[in-house]
Amino acid sequence: MPEYMLVMNQGAVESRFFDIPPNDNWKPLKRTPKPQFNVETEDCVEISPLITETEIITQWQIIKLAERKPKDTTLHITEPILNNELYIPKVVSLRQFRMALKRVGLFSKIDELKNSPYLNQTQKDDLTEFLEYSNTIERNHPLIQAFAPMLGVTSEQIDQVFQLADTL
């Protein structure tokens, strides 16, 4: 059964499997394979999908990890540098995430979304459980990918929220 994504406000909102899409707002999802990358010096993350007239295509971005060499040793360690603007944490605590959302003004928008007629009850419940009972929040969690376009938030803005959260 093919996978389709719902497009609202020029953003992909959610994906489901259908034999036939229910209406024109659902477009077929074409999943592209993760590109090859060097796990020692790079990371590969899924970014916002490309939305065309006929389909939605997943996209990937390879991110270079910063390098550090400890003094007086030949050991070479490759790890992200926390103050590096290219470093985007993959996971933050729920407390950090909520504090960052409040500081950038998205927390109240999420409350508005919970009461939105665009979400069914299951989606509202999922969003509430996710933002109130998770231990950690993952950058590439499907709920973040699904609800961000509904809030008018870009992938780059999500990265910025995670960068801010990592400092709190």
Q: How many domains does the chain have?
A: 2
Q: CA 111 → CA 17, 68, 115, 122, 132, distances in Å? A: 28, 41, 7, 15, 12
- 95 and 166 in a single domain? The answer is yes
- 101 and 163 in a single domain? The answer is yes
- 78 and 152 in a single domain? The answer is no
- 153 and 167 in a single domain? The answer is yes
- 29 and 105 in a single domain? The answer is no
- 30 and 72 in a single domain? The answer is yes
User: pLDDT by residue (tens digit) across 5-61?
Assistant: 877 776 667 778 888 877 778 888 888 998 898 888 888 888 778 888 888 888 888
Which residue, 29, 58, 82, sits at the end of a domain? 82
Note down the domain range covering 107: 88-168
- 139 and 160 in a single domain? The answer is yes
For residues 124 and 75, the answer to whether their CB atoms sit within 8 Å is no
Q: Token pair of 159, please?
A: 């990265």
State mean pLDDT over 103-127: 82
- 42 and 98 in a single domain? The answer is no
Say what the pTM is: 0.49
